[in-house]
Chains A and B, each alone.
Chain A
Amino acid sequence: MPVVAQFEITYTQFLDEHGKAQQELPEFAADADEMARMYRFMHLTRVFDRRCINLQRTGQVGTIASSNGHEAAQIGLAAAMRPEDVLAPSYREHGAVIWRGVRMSQLLAVWGGDERGHNWDGARHDFPYCVPIATQCLHAAGAALAFKMRGDEACAVALCGDGATSEGAFYEALNAAGAMNLPVVFWVTNNRYAISMPVEGQTAAQTLAQKAIAVGISGEQVDGNDLIAVRNAAEIATQRARSGGGATLVEALSYRLADHTTADDATRYRPDEEVEQASRRAPLHRMKRFMEARFGWTDEQETALIEELEAEVEKEVEAYLATPRPKIEEIFEHQFANMPAALEAQREIARRYPVPD
């Protein structure tokens, strides 16, 4: 019988878990300043994340999703984007949105239960965190359609996790991107778990990347804990999109080193040894080895950097904590461009009742 379709999925890794180069590195990896900048943001992501968890434990923010273990996937991707591109992030992408110019105090506001945080600085045209699963993939496809119709040389990037690949919205977005040749990148950080469900429970497919094949777009797998592999794949995919070459699905293999959120307890469903093993492959560890070997990065520099970042995060925490509480009137103000009279009347009622903290 004739074979009518065949496919293969490539896997790219530049640095092994000890930070040693496995093949010739892309050009940007020789740029000491750029590499230092990305390394700094990876650490910032980690320091911020650690502080967030601590704020949750002391009741100063609500439930929060940790990005521990995703530093390379988030920073490498964000660094390949241009300011005019648009990002549609899931709720776990603190590093990527901070790179895009969002203030940490604003992210804290979001997790602290204050909508004003989503009116954020930086990439004002980016989407807010998406809490429903995979729906942002369609928004990215829609944004990409807008770019295409207007002739903008820009692309849209949707960030989601492995669990999202089971949702209808994910497939619909991929399919639209293929059918309409849209300038969009679907970035799946496969951290192996959707709350308690391991990725093997989501799909019988060998890879998530191959889901691209069914819709006729490019698909590849990269080591999502390898900053260089991430940045390289993101540059190729975004450039392909901007130049009219169509959409790409990238599956970045990583591991969720934290609980799903602070409301979760991952010890109920996965063994400690697995987490321990995964933490040995963590992205920061491997980048440190690389920075040492390539650019003579020292332990003193490392300590000084972390101290500096801790101070930077603390300033943002202070700014967050010093922000006056929202007023109940504010829940009405952005429902419509012009407030209907009926809503004005409700606002007057709401004003009469103090809001318990």
Chain B
Amino acid sequence: MANLTLVEAVNQALAWEMAHDETVVVFGEDVGVNGGVFRATVGLQEKFGIERVFDTPLAEAMIAGLSVGMATQGFKPVPEVQFMGFIYPALDQIVSHASRMRNRTRGRLTCPMVLRAPFGTGIRAPEHHSESTEAFFAHMPGVRVVIPSSPVRAYGLLLSAIRDPDPVVFLEPKRIYRAFRQEVPDNGEGLPLDKAFVTRPGTDVTLITWGASALETWNAAGELADEGIDCEVMDLATVSPMDKETILESVSRTGRAVIVHEAAISGGLGGEVAAVLASEGLYSLEAPVIRVGGYDAVPPLARMEYGYIPGVQRIKDAVHECMES
């Protein structure tokens, strides 16, 4: 069994699925010879050949559009967009085509593709390398948005995303690409795309999170436990379509919810979770639902990025506020 980082688990999942399904192809900018700027595709070209793992011209709309074309004709493209900040030329292809090909052809053509992109702040990168705009994609019917926050979930969720018959935007939190290691058995077992993961059971309050914020949320829960507040921590993972059932079940027990994400708070998916609780879980609630997120500001350059995203103290303060109301 291999002890892997999140990015290594991505690589292991790609390798497994390529070995077991010859229709899977990987391409994008610098994914071949260079193995990806974060090494997510390292070694794949050597293993599976330049026909199935290749570098493309520098054009994101092209990467996404080629994928739509290939996917409709029997391939399973797993393209990479190098950073989420450069994904916007591809947005047109995802929004106008990938997400609705099945619907507009009444199932005649489908788009089984996985668009991978690293996202989020925290690596002191230049401008446009720190966005968390998962809500853009989550707003689109017909596309799944999946965000792993541990090596085990990166492996299992990516396998399921590739096997899924519909388009998936798979966003990898690069801040925790190498933050910790886990045993990740290379057994080809996928994880469900319709389930949120309770990573820490608790009874007092439910902390709902995804992406790199799972790390601070986890740490906050640990510190709060020392104060006697027993937090349940939930990684939403597939942020669209959302697993309402697990959210509602948890909050029916705890009666309190704090949502933590890195993306700008307004129009962020925390609002969707809060809406689920307001419309379907209101009578379980003992306190207002609290959202902690990035501020409604452009993600700042490196000097201020850790002031922008929710830190452990801000999460703890939100939990206290929730517990005291």
Cβ of B302 within 8 Å of any chain A Cβ, yes or no, is: yes
Interface pick from B4-12, B58-66, B267-275? B58-66
Which of A63, A168, A194, A346 sits near B126, CB closer than 8 Å? A63
Query: CB within 8 Å of B: which of A240-271?
Result: 261, 263-264, 268-269
- Verify B61–A168 contact, CB threshold 8 A: yes
- Verify A343–B296 contact, CB threshold 8 A: yes
A168 to B88, CA, bound (A): 12
> Shortest Cβ distance from A305 into chain B, in angstroms?
31
Cβ of B198 within 8 Å of any chain A Cβ, yes or no, is: no
Cβ of A311 within 8 Å of any chain B Cβ, yes or no, is: no
Cβ of A236 within 8 Å of any chain B Cβ, yes or no, is: no
| Residues of the A chain whose Cβ atoms lie less than 8 Å from the Cβ of B127 | 129, 131
A197 to B58, CA, bound (A): 9
A63 to B37, CA, bound (A): 13
Which of A63, A114, A331, A357 sits near B125, CB closer than 8 Å? A63
> Shortest Cβ distance from A17 into chain B, in angstroms?
28
A357 to B308, CA, bound (A): 12
How many residues on the B side are at the interface (Cβ–Cβ under 8 A)?
42
User: Which of chain B's residues has its CB closest to A269's CB?
Assistant: B33
> Shortest Cβ distance from A115 into chain B, in angstroms?
6
Which of A164, A263, A347, A353 sits near B314, CB closer than 8 Å? A353
Cβ of B103 within 8 Å of any chain A Cβ, yes or no, is: no
| Residues of the A chain whose Cβ atoms lie less than 8 Å from the Cβ of B128 | 131-132
Cβ of B298 within 8 Å of any chain A Cβ, yes or no, is: yes
A168 to B57, CA, bound (A): 11
Cβ of B79 within 8 Å of any chain A Cβ, yes or no, is: no
A268 to B42, CA, bound (A): 11
Cβ of B75 within 8 Å of any chain A Cβ, yes or no, is: no
A195 to B35, CA, bound (A): 12
A317 to B314, CA, bound (A): 35
- Verify B301–A113 contact, CB threshold 8 A: yes
Cβ of B225 within 8 Å of any chain A Cβ, yes or no, is: no
Contact with B along A108-129 (1 / 0, CB 8 A): 0011111100000000000001
A353 to B29, CA, bound (A): 38
> Shortest Cβ distance from A314 into chain B, in angstroms?
22
> Shortest Cβ distance from B190 into chain A, in angstroms?
31
| Residues of the A chain whose Cβ atoms lie less than 8 Å from the Cβ of B297 | 331-332, 335, 343, 346
User: Which of chain A's residues has its CB closest to B306's CB?
Assistant: A356
User: Which of chain A's residues has its CB closest to B38's CB?
Assistant: A263
Question: Interface on chain A toward B: helix, strand, loop, or mixed SS?
Answer: loop
> Shortest Cβ distance from A230 into chain B, in angstroms?
24
Contact with A along B177-198 (1 / 0, CB 8 A): 0000000000000000000000
| Residues of the B chain whose Cβ atoms lie less than 8 Å from the Cβ of A207 | none
Cβ of B80 within 8 Å of any chain A Cβ, yes or no, is: no
A194-B58, A263-B37, A328-B304 known; A91-B86 Cβ under 8 A = no
| Residues of the B chain whose Cβ atoms lie less than 8 Å from the Cβ of A201 | 55, 57
| Residues of the B chain whose Cβ atoms lie less than 8 Å from the Cβ of A350 | 295, 307
A343 to B296, CA, bound (A): 7
A60 to B256, CA, bound (A): 43
| Residues of the B chain whose Cβ atoms lie less than 8 Å from the Cβ of A34 | none
Cβ of A167 within 8 Å of any chain B Cβ, yes or no, is: yes
Which of A131, A132, A342, A353 sits near B313, CB closer than 8 Å? A353
A350 to B58, CA, bound (A): 38
A201 to B60, CA, bound (A): 15
| Residues of the A chain whose Cβ atoms lie less than 8 Å from the Cβ of B35 | 268
A9 to B124, CA, bound (A): 43
- Verify B313–A335 contact, CB threshold 8 A: no
User: Which of chain A's residues has its CB closest to B129's CB?
Assistant: A131
User: Which of chain B's residues has its CB closest to A113's CB?
Assistant: B302
Cβ of B211 within 8 Å of any chain A Cβ, yes or no, is: no
Which 8 A/B pairs are nearest by Cβ-Cβ distance?
Answer: A113-B302, A355-B307, A166-B57, A196-B34, A163-B58, A113-B301, A113-B303, A328-B307
Please give the residue numbers on chain B whose beta carbons come within 8 Å of chain A beta carbons, in ascending order.
Answer: 29-30, 32-35, 37, 55, 57-62, 85-86, 88-89, 124-129, 265-266, 295-298, 300-308, 311, 313-314
